[in-house]
């Protein structure tokens, strides 16, 4: 099956690169003229059997973007995304150079999206389903079922479903649904938890931000020890207390990061001191929406006094 899949990759990728070469050249010129810096963004990713390779994308962020910082942790990340980059991300054309990765045999047309080298939580989950033992893909079963919006556990499970059912017709199905998803811009979040600044590697799936992959950031050591101990238990209840601080954007980013965690029994306690009625309603809406999307229990606690 691997030889047949490789033949299909070449039959699709080589003609696509030839046909799209005028578009490819036009984007190269646009990226170069739009902002100073390299045309391509290169980043270390995890390939088949957890080997490493360098993924290629069109650069979508300014060259002065802070290094080693996930996009969602940047102050006003929109300021770093170039004009060309906004369009390329929205249309997923920034992924076009990965046709070269496919031709070189580092990727496939369809497969689990390549994880960042330090997305340990995602890699650990994929090990459960054998999803690290197939070529990563330009698109995948998880990408057409949520892209950037999926928690890591759910994304890994969908990757495992693809591994179990992979084949010619499954790949055609994924390609067709990918075209529909891209045209509808489904599941794309600018500055979401999957993005990493393009000036350096980060603990950030990323992404997309950066194509829908999500962040692999680690907890501080003293917290991580407690977390690891909890994970070792059978279906432990993991409670996370989050102070709202009346900053809606920061709160949303914090919640998205928590929803990505792999704990099956997670509850999030949103604590607000001296909340006013307007903020009270906002937080309740955020909590309700987050709980509906993630399946986590989200509780809003309003204190009368600090």
Predicted local confidence at residue 6, as pLDDT: 94
- For residues 299 and 246, membership in a common domain is answered with yes
- Taking the C-alpha atoms of residue 299 and residue 297, their distance in angstroms, rounded to an integer, is 7
- For residues 106 and 191, membership in a common domain is answered with yes
- Taking the C-alpha atoms of residue 205 and residue 113, their distance in angstroms, rounded to an integer, is 9
- For residues 205 and 230, membership in a common domain is answered with no
Give the residues of the chain that fall short of pLDDT 50: 189-195, 199-227, 229-231, 306
The predicted-structure confidence for 185-211, as pLDDT tens digits, reads as follows 655 544 333 445 554 433 334 334 333
- For residues 76 and 95, membership in a common domain is answered with yes
- For residues 175 and 239, membership in a common domain is answered with no
Q: Which of 214, 247, 277 is the last residue of a domain?
A: 214
- For residues 249 and 117, membership in a common domain is answered with no
- For residues 16 and 150, membership in a common domain is answered with yes
Predicted local confidence at residue 211, as pLDDT: 36
Q: Which of 185, 214, 243 is the last residue of a domain?
A: 214
- Taking the C-alpha atoms of residue 77 and residue 55, their distance in angstroms, rounded to an integer, is 22
Range of the domain at 108: 2-214
- Taking the C-alpha atoms of residue 58 and residue 42, their distance in angstroms, rounded to an integer, is 9
Predicted local confidence at residue 296, as pLDDT: 75
Residue 4, classed as helix, strand or coil, is helix
- For residues 150 and 288, membership in a common domain is answered with no
- Taking the C-alpha atoms of residue 11 and residue 95, their distance in angstroms, rounded to an integer, is 18
- For residues 204 and 238, membership in a common domain is answered with no
Number of domains forming the structure of the chain:
2
- For residues 145 and 241, membership in a common domain is answered with no
Predicted local confidence at residue 203, as pLDDT: 34
Cβ atoms of residues 72 and 204 within 8 Å: yes
Q: Is the pTM of this model over 0.85?
A: no
Predicted local confidence at residue 24, as pLDDT: 97
Residue 67, classed as helix, strand or coil, is coil
Closest CA to 98 of 71, 145, 58: 58
């Amino acid at each position: 099956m691997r030889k047949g899949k490789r033949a299909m990759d070449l039959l699709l990728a080589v003609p696509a690169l030839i046909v799209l070469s005028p578009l490819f050249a036009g984007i190269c010129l646009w990226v170069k003229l739009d902002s100073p810096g390299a045309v391509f963004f290169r980043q270390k990713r995890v390939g088949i059997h957890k080997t490493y390779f360098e993924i290629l994308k069109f650069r979508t962020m300014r060259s002065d973007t802070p290094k080693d910082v996930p996009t969602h942790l940047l102050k006003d990340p929109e300021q770093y995304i170039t004009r060309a980059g906004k369009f390329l991300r929205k249309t997923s054309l920034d992924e076009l150079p990965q046709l070269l990765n496919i031709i070189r045999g580092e990727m496939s047309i369809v497969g689990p999206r390549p994880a960042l080298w330090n997305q340990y939580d995602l890699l650990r989950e994929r090990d459960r389903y054998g999803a690290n033992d197939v070529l990563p893909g330009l698109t995948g079963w998880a990408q057409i079922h949520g892209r950037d919006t999926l928690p890591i556990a759910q994304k890994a499970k969908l990757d495992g479903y693809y591994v179990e059912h992979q084949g010619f017709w499954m790949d055609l199905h994924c390609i067709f649904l990918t075209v529909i998803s891209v045209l509808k811009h489904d599941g794309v979040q600018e500055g979401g938890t999957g993005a990493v600044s393009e000036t350096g590697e980060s603990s950030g799936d990323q992404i997309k931000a950066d194509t829908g992959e999500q962040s692999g950031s680690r907890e501080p050591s003293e917290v991580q020890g407690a977390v690891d101990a909890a994970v070792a238990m059978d279906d432990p209840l993991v409670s996370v207390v989050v102070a709202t601080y009346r900053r809606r954007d920061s709160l949303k980013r914090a919640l998205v990061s928590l929803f990505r965690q792999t704990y099956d029994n997670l509850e999030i306690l949103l604590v607000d001191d001296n909340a006013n009625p307007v903020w009270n309603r906002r937080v309740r809406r955020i909590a309700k929406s987050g709980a509906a999307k993630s399946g986590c229990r989200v509780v809003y606690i309003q204190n009368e006094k600090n």
